């Protein structure tokens, strides 16, 4: 049980750290910044094996595509538990504010969290 919690905590740190390192709206050339410490420019691309978002046409999925894609590929809802998503979304919202990115309003944030929790791992 302790290993599962440690792995979950490390996963969150990697996702949040990667997103925080990757969204720099002030960089030149219209790119959003250097990803993962400078190795890649722009947003984290969707991988060939990334599953599509569940219910891709739902309001929650559309909001994730709109807001999360400003800095990185849309997150896979199953990547985290329903309990983890609210704190992770709050952290990403704060990062959007610091980067002067478009920020979802309170109602949109609740829709995003509800969607992520519905499809959580």
More confident residue, 59 or 50: 59
For the stretch 54-91, pLDDT in tens is 999 999 999 999 999 999 999 999 999 999 999 999 99
Tell whether pTM > 0.75.
no
Sequence ranges of the domains in the chain: 2-43+52-118
CA 119, 15, 106: angle at the middle one, nearest 5? 60
What's residue 12's pLDDT?
A: 53
In DSSP notation, 60-95 reads: HHHHHHHHGGGTSSPPPGGGS-TTTHHHHHHHHHHH
**Quick one: tokens of 91?**
């952290």
Residue 36 region by backbone torsions, left for phi larger than 0, else alpha for psi between -120 and 50, else beta: left
For residue 37, pLDDT over 80 is answered with no
For residue 26, pLDDT over 60 is answered with no
């Amino acid at each position: 049980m302790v290993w599962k919690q440690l792995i979950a905590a490390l996963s969150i740190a990697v996702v949040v750290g990667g997103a925080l390192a990757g969204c720099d709206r002030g960089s030149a050339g219209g790119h959003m910044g250097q990803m993962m410490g400078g190795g890649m420019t722009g947003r984290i691309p969707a991988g060939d094996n990334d599953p599509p978002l569940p219910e891709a046409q739902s309001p929650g999925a559309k909001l994730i595509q709109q807001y999360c894609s400003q800095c990185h590929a849309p997150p896979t809802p199953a990547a985290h538990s329903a309990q983890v998503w609210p704190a992770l979304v709050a952290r990403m919202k704060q990062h959007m504010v610091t980067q002067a990115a478009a920020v979802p309003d309170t109602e949109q944030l609740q829709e995003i969290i509800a969607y992520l929790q519905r499809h959580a791992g």
